[in-house]
Structure formats: structure tokens, C-alpha cells
Structure 1
């Protein structure tokens, strides 16, 4: 059972693009203690079971499944991808705003330079 949970922890962590240290920080344990959980060498995951499920946004059933499943993995990746798409959209709006401001400033500079001549 520890090997199954360990494999699932590793897959979930990678799907969330997190380091072992980041997950360990969420669980308030050392990175080496978390690494032992991923390798299936520790039973301390039972103590942190609920917190692990919260960190990875999964159900307890998902954590102990022999195969975590493509659907769970894809849902994690889709959430990450949706966040990425939303951020790109926001960045594009900001860039567009600055491009418009730059064009306005160019027009003002052009107008001011005409007044000097």
C-alpha cells in the first residue's frame, strides 16, 4: 500500500509542478520525510492523509487507488492549463493597454515637436 500511495504522491506532485520541498512545507515536515513517503518507505502518510488530499485537491479514495488514473491526472493538468491560459489573457490585455499608451505618447511627442519648429 505504501508503494501505491508513494507512486500516486509523486505523480500528483509532478502534475502540480511542485517540488518535494514545497509539498513538505505544506505538510509541515522535512523534505527527506516527504521523499520517504514517495518512495513508499514511510507510513507517516497516514498522519498527513487529509492534508495531502487538500494539497493535491483529490479525494482520499483517489490517493489510495492502485492506479491514480488518467482522468485525475488530466483534471489536475487541465486546471493548471486553464490557469496558464487565464494568465496569458491577462498579460495580453496589459500589453495591449501599454501599446495604446505608447501610441498616444508618440502622437503627443510628434505634436510637441511640431510646435518647436
Structure 2
């Protein structure tokens, strides 16, 4: 999923005429961090999804929706359209929640490792 999100972000950025540096500045991150988002090397887009959607003028769920689903929805009559949209929004929220949880769990592990490291340094300096 990350690669499809990354591709969508890249396409939208280019369509708006923004450089990677422009986007990085607007997101208050480094250009290299932004490049990792567009290259699919980072999930940090999830932490910036609200701001990305504002900058690129799209709904946050548009980053996660499957383009084939959008086409299918457009080719059907309007019966149940609102229900389909509602389910799609719930699925988007669930996907975002899962990605954010993964990011937070990874960060917590990194912080725990750092705490363990500094505790061991502190204990060794006391001896």
C-alpha cells in the first residue's frame, strides 16, 4: 500500500507544480524525509496525511482508496452510493489507524532501546 500512496502523493505534487523541497517546507520536514515518503521507503506520510490533503487539495481518504473502486463507483447508479462512501471512509480510517499504530509501536521500541542503552551506561559508570 505504501508504494501506491507514494505514487499518488508524487502525482498530485507534480500536478500542483510543487517541488519536493516545496512539499518538505510545507510539511516542516527535510527534503530527504519527504523523498523517502515519495519513494515508498517511509510510512511517515500517515503522520502528515491531514497536511498533505490540505496542500494537495484532496480528501485524506483519497490517498488510500483504490482507483479501481473509484471507477466502479462512478460507473454504477447512485443507489447505495452514500453507503459505499461511508464504508470506504471507515476502511480508510482503519487503514490509517493501523499504519499509525505501526509507526508508534516502532518508535516506542526505539525509545525503549535507547532507555536500556543509557541505563546500562549509567550503571557501568557507577561501578
TM-score normalised according to structure 2 size: 0.51
Q: Which has the larger radius of gyration?
A: 1
Q: Which residue of 1 aligns with 2:15?
A: 15
Q: Which runs of 5+ in 2 are unaligned?
A: 72-127
Larger relative contact order, structure 1 or 2 (CA cutoff 8 Å, min sep 6): 1
Matched, 1:63 2:63: yes
In structure 2, distance between residues paired with 1:35 and 1:29: 10
Q: Which residue of 2 aligns with 1:38?
A: 38
Number of matched residues? 70
CA displacement 1:67-103 (0-9 Å, x = unmatched) = 3979xxxxxxxxxxxxxxxxxxxxxxxxxxxxxxxxx
After TM superposition, what 4+ stretches of structure 1 lie above 3 angstroms from structure 2? 66-70
Q: Which residue of 2 aligns with 1:113?
A: none
Q: Which runs of 5+ in 1 are unaligned?
A: 71-117
